[in-house]
Structure 1
Amino acid sequence: MKDFIYFIKGNFRKLSFGWALTFLSSFGQTYLISLYVTSISSEFAVTEGNFGAIYAICTVLASFIMLTVGHTVDHVSVKKVTAFTVICLAFSCILMGISYHIAFVFISLVGLRLTGQGMLSHISMTILSKFYDKNRGKALSFSSLGFSSGEIVLPLLLAFVIAWFDWRWAMIGSGILLLLYLIRLYFTDLDHFNKQLSIGRPSSSGLVRDFGKIISDRRFLILMPTSFAISFTVTAVIFYQYVFVAQKGWSPQLYAAFFTGYAITRLIFSLAGGLWVDKFTAKKMFRFYLIPISLGLLAYALIPSIFGALIFLLLMGITVGMSGTIKSSILAEVYGIEKLGAIRSLFTMFMVISTALGPLIVGWMIDGGLSIETIMLSLFAFLVLCLLNAQRIKAVASISESDNLTNT
């Protein structure tokens, strides 16, 4: 831990930039958008189920657009690509706030999901993975604290604004806050990150070939399901968490207090995950980090009291806390860093798709009359299969031991 503190002190300016991007990505994350679901559904006379379907379509569309823009972090100035992303996210928030037709809501949601959840997280994790080698885990874990910080601060702040003013003002205010960040960005020196940039923009045919090589390689079939499963499960449970609370007859206030425990646990294990990745490598951590959330789902299914949900939230915090560092680090270990932006954009696309499918499929299960216990056990079985598949990573050589697929 002492080494971690010294590392943060010596690299604080670089690391704080990564933290800021993950924090600002919150404006496109499901947990924050969910605050507006009831208000938007009522305002535009659509059912919450129909809004969920619109949300899923927008998320999937954003994931495909991600493939066409994710590679920019490999060859465009970090400051330029960040500024453009923040501007687009800000205008997506403002457009949502002034929308008076569902079509504008649709466009806004695509922008929020693409630039918030997609690009800002992608930029942060990619540039730090490229810049740091020996201390990659520590760098990514510090950056991941932005996610936890957003979960702790922003829901409370925006819930207050929505209660005292209006959901539209909360959205417009979010956009203004993002635009104000551009002032800070203007005075931030990011030239050190540009040293890792590739020369020239890849052609469309070149990107297609790279993506084809990645998807057809067995490493993809080992790495992708685990990333997909975490996002699928976490998004689905969080999206319907208060539906489950209502069906169980639990106290919403007590559950909200327990959710704070999840955010704190995630923060702690974001730091711990970085230390463990640097000590043991991401490949070793990758084999085990699904275990806590899997056991949490089992507790949620088998313990009838609200404390089953508490156990799940704490164990989910452990896995989610470590996941950002492990998933980003292992891509650099397995594929190398030359085309890491393009590679991460492909994995991010599948991750974003999973966040759309999770609420959709679990919503169908709820509408089909399946019990909460059955839903949780189904998710548990899914994660166990992914955990078993992850064990195959033992046979995969790191990039220092094998040819780089992206350079063949």
Structure 2
Amino acid sequence: MFNHLFQKQLIDPAKSPVFYGYVILVIGTIGIYCSIPGQTIGVSVFTDPVKDALGLSRNQFSNAYMIGTIVSSLVIGRAGVWFDVYGARYVAFFAALTLGLTLFLCSWSASMSTYIKELLSVDTWVVPFVLMTILFFMLRFAGQGVLTMASRNVIMIWFDKNRGKVNSFSSVALSFGFSSSPLWINGLIEGYGWSQTWQFLAIGLLFFSILIFLFYKISPEKHGLLPDGVNHLNTQEQRKTTVPKQFTLEEAKKERAFWMYGLTLAFNSFFITGLTFHIVSIFNLQGFVKEDAIAIFLPGSVVAVTVSTLFNFLSDYLPLKLYLYLMLLGGILASLGFLLLSTPVGVPMLIAGFGTLGGFFAVLNAVAWPRFFGRTHLGSITGKIMSFLILASALAPSVFSFCLSTFGSYKMVGFLGLAFLLFLAIGSIKANNPQ
């Protein structure tokens, strides 16, 4: 009863002067952007000052990050179930709240480490290592995992025929937002220090959690509305809307499309994370300087934004299987460019390939799942897919390093990538839309 009375005081989507889905689009996009402190791109800026403050080596700090990320990938599926049961509003609210509180704990990590050492009368790297592993688990689970998943899903739920078009807006905004985030985060660190910067980000997230509680709404139907803002459905449209089957996670896992699309998206997470993590070393081995290595990201981002903008818009009209094969083609280009890096065609192929991968990732990871499996169990399905992506990104730096230390170069990654992509290309021949 209390919840019912409290709900009446909140914003009513049915009374919005514009279709409330557009409000969801804006606030949901900001929600994904607010996950940056839990993303690799947001954590990496803190690596050097934090590891030095804690007395950890680069390998120890990286391993703590990897273990925390792997553990988060094993439990993120549960958050997808929470999304289906409790809705985007509560799941995203508690994710933002948890991420904000975790950032406060991260800002006190050096003091906490010192206190625990004194309490246990020990002086070992194990204490800050275990502490950061736990904090990284919380960061990755709440930020990269739950807040990202809930915010993306709530946007997709409010749209149907225009899902690709609205995802185009969201993808472009996030591409520019994510790519610029290391600059302003680094500026805050230089001006105020790493500890206070994490506190600034925490305060921002706690404030945004209030906005989530006010504005996130689980679906248009719950408020007497229809997806895309249509006023009513004619008889023909009603027939179309009753056709889609609402797959459970167990039913979705029996479909080939679930695995082929999921593994293709996971390859993107693996390759891009590994490339980004070791980019300077990869290019140095081929005779390039650091500036040449870093310079590939800007044109790659331009390719990714161009691809995602164009093909998000067209995804409302084209079959997604075409997108899957274009994404696989991007992966093949990236792998070949990786192998041919010392040749004149290597760098352009690598840029075109990973840009294409990233562009189609932004489309398929948002649009494919509600189109293939419906919206009712979208949380549990995307939660399982998210576990693939997080696990792949966690393993990538170590696999790249293993190839270098074992074979003396990174080229084995390129050969393994081509073999895996060939497997996906063959396996995807019958990966049709289950609907």
2:76 corresponds to 1:66: yes
Q: Structure 1 counterpart of 2:83, which letter?
A: V
Closer, same or farther in 2 for the Cα pair 1:266/1:65, shift >3 Å? same
8 Å Cα contact 1:35-1:159 kept in structure 2: yes
CA distance in 2, matches of 1:248, 1:61: 35
2:78 corresponds to 1:49: no
Unaligned runs of 5+ in 2: 1-17, 114-127, 225-246
Q: Deviations over 1:167-204 (max 9, x none)?
A: 2233222222222323544553637557299xxxxxxx
- The correspondence for 2:139, drawn from 98, 106, 112, is 112
CA distance in 1, matches of 2:306, 2:373: 28
Unaligned runs of 5+ in 1: 1-7, 198-208, 400-408
- The correspondence for 2:215, drawn from 188, 198, 203, is 188
8 Å Cα contact 1:292-1:316 kept in structure 2: yes
Instruction: Give % identity.
Output: 21
Segment of structure 1 superposing worse, 254-263 or 306-315: 306-315
- The correspondence for 1:273, drawn from 288, 311, 314, is 311
Partner of 1:151: 178
Deviation, structure 1 residue 121: 1.9
Deviation, structure 1 residue 30: 1.4
Q: Structure 2 counterpart of 1:52, which letter?
A: S
8 Å Cα contact 2:157-2:218 kept in structure 1: no
Number of equivalences = 379
Partner of 1:286: 324
2:296 corresponds to 1:258: yes
Deviation, structure 1 residue 36: 2.3
Superposition map of 1:313-332 within 5 A: 313-332=351-370
Segment of structure 1 superposing worse, 109-118 or 29-38: 29-38
- The correspondence for 1:125, drawn from 148, 152, 170, is 152
CA distance in 1, matches of 2:361, 2:142: 21
CA distance in 2, matches of 1:20, 1:286: 27
Q: Structure 2 counterpart of 1:155, which letter?
A: P
Superposition CA RMSD, Å: 2.8
TM-score, with length taken from structure 2: 0.78
CA distance in 1, matches of 2:412, 2:71: 30
SS in 1 for 2:196: helix
Partner of 2:188: 161
CA distance in 2, matches of 1:145, 1:184: 22
Partner of 1:27: 37
Q: Deviations over 1:332-383 (max 9, x none)?
A: 2222221111111111111111111111211211222431334333323323
Closer, same or farther in 2 for the Cα pair 1:9/1:387, shift >3 Å? farther
2:390 corresponds to 1:352: yes
Partner of 1:138: 165
Closer, same or farther in 2 for the Cα pair 1:64/1:196, shift >3 Å? farther
Partner of 2:380: 342
CA distance in 2, matches of 1:191, 1:341: 11
Closer, same or farther in 2 for the Cα pair 1:329/1:47, shift >3 Å? same
CA distance in 2, matches of 1:137, 1:368: 43
Closer, same or farther in 2 for the Cα pair 1:169/1:377, shift >3 Å? farther
Closer, same or farther in 2 for the Cα pair 1:194/1:368, shift >3 Å? farther
Closer, same or farther in 2 for the Cα pair 1:266/1:218, shift >3 Å? closer
